[in-house]
Amino acid sequence: MHVCCCRFCGASLRVTMVDLGMSPLANAYLTAEQLHHMEPFYPLRVYVCERCWLVQLEAFTAPESIFSDYAYFSSYSDSWLQHAKAYVEIAVERCGLNAASHVIEIASNDGYLLQYFVAQGIPVLGIEPAENVAAAAQQRGIQTLVQFFGEGLAKELVAHGTQADLVVGNNVLAHVPQLNDFVSGLKIVLKPHGVITMEFPHLLRLMAEKQFDTIYHEHFSYFSLRTVRAVFAAHGLTIFDVDELPTHGGSLRIYARHREDTLRPVSPRVADLLVREEDAGLQCVDTYLAFAEEVKATKRRCLEFFLQAKQQGKSLAGYGAPAKGNTLLNYLGVRTDFLDYTVDRSPHKQGHFLPGTHIPILHPDVITTTRPDYLVILPWNIQEEVRQQMAHIREWGGRFVALIPDVVVSA
């Protein structure tokens, strides 16, 4: 058996939480020309560290090959924009931000969040490694560095007099292969009384709701509060509060400060969630082994739906081309024999094909032309938004389908 080491504590990884087989990079969307070339697949095997309980994947490719030209633009989700705007209002009030403050967002994408700080006259800096995505932010007038964040960049920023009253990172912590280097950088770039907020999918919810499709190579780590608190503490940072959010199927927003900064006491919410995680068995190997069996059962239920639908002569299309959908479809082995096509609002994905399955990505208007019997919602985390946007499928009796955590068909 191949044995790798924990990216946080260095312990040998011997326990497999789940093995999803061989899979392509989830955001490696293909052009028509690329369909004629070899496509790389990598093991999608998830380990859990028995020492620190960090759930993680091995890094098979360099971050530069994944994130330097990225297909995900945050601004194409209305619900995510609403989430970002609400966060800014909370952060401005809670951290007392004004025109004399400075906000740094790591993995700032297309400026979807920083635009709301700018609207309030608060100086910002975005750090985004994907040049194509950063260009969209720069066109909005948002200062953006096209670089990967870590200890080295943090030291450069401080040397040039740049530190933050607030450091924001939404859905970036899981994407970092060099975890210790990243968190060390957070410590360096934060002002003495500054605050860090990080959002990421909560391992507790991922396991409880069988959200195995959120596992893909671009996500190197999956965090419980217990583990992320240990990671931050190892670098002199204290998590003093936590919010449980509905986004991405259930996320955490942690609030951290320098260990030396005692102005912000630790909220009782931290201790409460730690107890609930322990009660759920997140420090027990058997809990992780049971998850693998639940994933297999979910796969069988999904395939039963697809088989029955096709045997009944029904037509199926997908909505969305998210990374999670690519994990799901490749694990199921679902291709155009089951799903005719999928649609996506992002013009950066339209005209391409899903990695591995080679399902074409079309404009949402195609739905009205082809009138499928079933519309399979691949980004199930925004399914209410999708149902509102695509409500017209009910005109011909079309029905919505969500596959995770269980198969649910609805009008």
Closest to 80 (Cα-Cα) out of 247, 207, 288: 247
Which amino acid is present at 394? R
Span 205-230, average pLDDT = 96
Q: Do domains 67-283 and 286-410 have the same CATH topology?
A: yes
Is residue 198 within 8 Å of residue 226, measured between CB atoms? no
Question: pLDDT for 113-154, tens place per residue?
Answer: 999 999 999 999 999 999 989 999 999 999 999 999 999 999
Is residue 80 within 8 Å of residue 385, measured between CB atoms? no
Q: Is the pLDDT of residue 3 over 70?
A: no
Q: Is the pLDDT of residue 1 over 50?
A: no
**SS3 (DSSP) at 291:** helix
Which amino acid is present at 5? C
Task: Measure the CA angle with vertex 305, ends 304 and 311; round to 5°.
Answer: 85
Enumerate helices (H) and strands (E) in the chain, giving the number of each.
Answer: 13, 19
Closest to 236 (Cα-Cα) out of 270, 176, 187, 191: 187
Q: How far apart are CA 349 and CA 331, in angstroms?
A: 21
Phi, psi (5° rounding) for residue 34? Answer: -70, -15
> Which strand ranges, in their side-by-side order, compose the sheet holding 42-48?
15-23, 42-48, 55-56, 221-222
Average per-residue pLDDT for the chain? 94
Question: pLDDT for 289-345, tens place per residue?
Answer: 999 999 999 999 999 999 999 999 999 999 999 999 999 999 999 999 999 999 999
Task: With both helix axes pointing from N to C terminus, report the angle between 179-189 and 151-159 in degrees, rounded to the nearest 10.
Answer: 20
Question: pLDDT for 149-176, tens place per residue?
Answer: 999 999 999 999 999 999 999 999 999 9
Cβ-proximal residues to 230 (8 Å cutoff; 6+ apart), any chain: 8, 52
Closest to 7 (Cα-Cα) out of 65, 46, 64: 46
CATH number of 67-283: 3.40.50.150
Question: pLDDT for 372-411, tens place per residue?
Answer: 999 999 999 899 999 999 999 999 999 999 999 999 999 9
Q: Is the pLDDT of residue 62 over 70?
A: no
Q: How far apart are CA 199 and CA 362, in angstroms?
A: 31
The residue with tokens 């909505």 is 319
Tell me what percent of the residues of the chain surpass a pLDDT of 90.
Answer: 90
Phi-psi region of 358 (alpha: psi -120 to 50; beta: other; left: phi over 0): left
Question: Domain coordinates of the chain in residue numbers?
Answer: 67-283, 286-410
What single string gives the DSSP state of each residue in 248-288? GGSEEEEEEEETT--SSPPPHHHHHHHHHHHHTTTT-HHHH
In this prediction, residue 160 carries a pLDDT of: 97
In this prediction, residue 74 carries a pLDDT of: 67
Task: Give domain 286-410's CATH number out of 3.30.200.20, 3.40.50.720, 3.40.50.300, 3.30.365.10.
Answer: 3.40.50.720
State the number of CA atoms in the 13 A half-sphere of 364 facing the CB. 16
Cβ-proximal residues to 63 (8 Å cutoff; 6+ apart), any chain: 129, 148, 175, 177
Q: Considering the entire predicted model, what is its pTM?
A: 0.91
Residue 392 structure tokens: 């017209």
Q: How far apart are CA 386 and CA 381, in angstroms?
A: 10
Which amino acid is present at 365? D
Cβ-proximal residues to 107 (8 Å cutoff; 6+ apart), any chain: 127, 128, 129, 149, 169, 170, 171, 172, 175
Closest to 246 (Cα-Cα) out of 136, 83, 95: 83
Pairing of strands 342-343, 316-319: parallel
**SS3 (DSSP) at 178:** coil
